[in-house]
Structure 1
Amino acid sequence: MKISKINRNDLCWCNSGKKYKKCHLEQDTRLEELALAGYEVPSRGMIKTPEQIEGIRRSSQLSKTILDNLEEIIRPGISTEEIDRYVHEYTLSCGAHPAPLNYKGYPRSVCTSINEVICHGIPDDRQLKDGDIVNVDVTCILNGYYGDTSRMFLIGNPSPKAQELVKVARECLYLGIEQVKPFHRIGHIAYAIEQHANKYGFSVVQDFGGHGVGIAFHEEPFVQHFGSQEDGMVLVPNMVFTIEPMINAGSYKTKILADGWTTITVDGSLSAQWEHTVRVTDTGVEVLSL
């Protein structure tokens, strides 16, 4: 795999305005060596420009604001349809568009996943009740850029086991984020998440994971949340993707319901998920949706 084909004194391919030798030459050379050694490396298209990163950051911050606002709204008795209506109207009022709406036929503006629902729960007239746990997954499109984030909400007083699951799932997210740095691999993220979940007797969903995001809703790379440190793509600065571990209290196996979207645990156990959009920096990570 030949990556670097630009003369040293030409302008860099990334449109930085710098000469190639002062910009991406060293990184490209290292990636080429890794590719020849059998590593999976990112294409140039996965590396975002400063303009794109700023757009993704703004969209991610809008998605975060919506979740922040929901902290004051979500309570026992509210229906997931009401949550959807709020997200839809607020998103439009900010000059943005809810990415889930009509995405591959998805009928709502947000995903609401309650208790045993792992992901992609469709809002309806179901009312949240005391003891529920619910994930709300928000993705905005602002000026053409996507920002994706989700968080868990505790309704009333969930069981100690449910509260522990939600807490551990959040810890898994941040332990995964700590592994984001140049020339680490996606496997470093996955390993940290799985080891922490397993320590508490929980499992990590394998059928879904994080993904590149920003210019489209779902881009490369796929970000698995389980497995070896030696797995997955090499990370380089200005890659942007989500980390969104889905942690189950029981089996990691999933089942998609007849609506084609709602995904539940096969054994009816609880599931919890937290998500951020992150950027690889020159030295580590920036959480764009924090």
Structure 2
Amino acid sequence: MKIVECVPNFSEGRDIEKINRIMDVVKTDEHIKLVNYESDADYNRTVVTLIGDPNHMINLILKMVEVCLKEIDLNKHSGEHARMGAIDVIPFIPISDITMKECISYSEKCAELIYEKYDIPCFLYAEAARFEDRKSLPSIRKGEFEGMKDKIKDPHWLPDFGKQEIHPTFGCIGVGARDFLVAYNIDIATEDESPAKKMARTIRKSSGGFQYVQAGPVYLENRKHTQVTMNILNYKKNPIYRIFETIKMEAKRYHVEVTGAEIVGLVPKDALVRSLKYYYACNNLEFPESISLKEVVQDVKKYMLFRDFDETKIIDYFL
């Protein structure tokens, strides 16, 4: 059976009733499994993780677009996370018995149907990108909803599907295919955003840092502290521990404390095991041949200060 993971992000993280109305469409779908969803008031964004058959997935995504079109007006939206659409991004990720090439095809089909049914322009990104400078979602999204009104009129930024005009309330969407991406944030115990900004610059690829890392600073009003927020695009070539330990080292320079970290959405067990092996070696411990998800959870909390984390944040739990 072909199984994809899809992680649509919609631009609402504060209005609980609105979030519930959007999620009701997902929860009542009998073909697709809702793995989890996480809303953040500071980011004003909800990340939804789904797994299932790719054709049924497209059908559900279309239903989500329809309800978000009714519920979200980006002219009245603000938040710490960059966004260009009411549903901002829709990635297709191969899980079982499906290739990346097939995921690209499904993402193209999804984008085409979104435009045909709802007149919302779509840009293909990551592995589905048809142009080199569209592989990176931040490159497409630069300028956000407000700036896209003019940016989309530039012939260089002609949407892959749609006319050169954003939807007046919804905006536009990035639809793509990619491998697992680890959405990872590190908590810094200060309300001053300057240290987080400098540390983000140290680790991200675009500033000369690590390959496969996109990063930036953010202040969380509800938590009264800052974060270095990032996407790790390839955890095998740049494991989580390496980024975490670099931020801890840099934090000493700015006399601030790293107090925790979080995973947004899901993470493969393999990504955690690769980092835990580093900490076991540092403590002269032999890594077990077989380690349970429960033990993995205990260890990442101990060594990597994960908060709000349990087995249901690990993709293998559902497979």
TM-score scaled by length of structure 1: 0.27
Give the number of the structure whose residues are more often helix, by fraction: 2
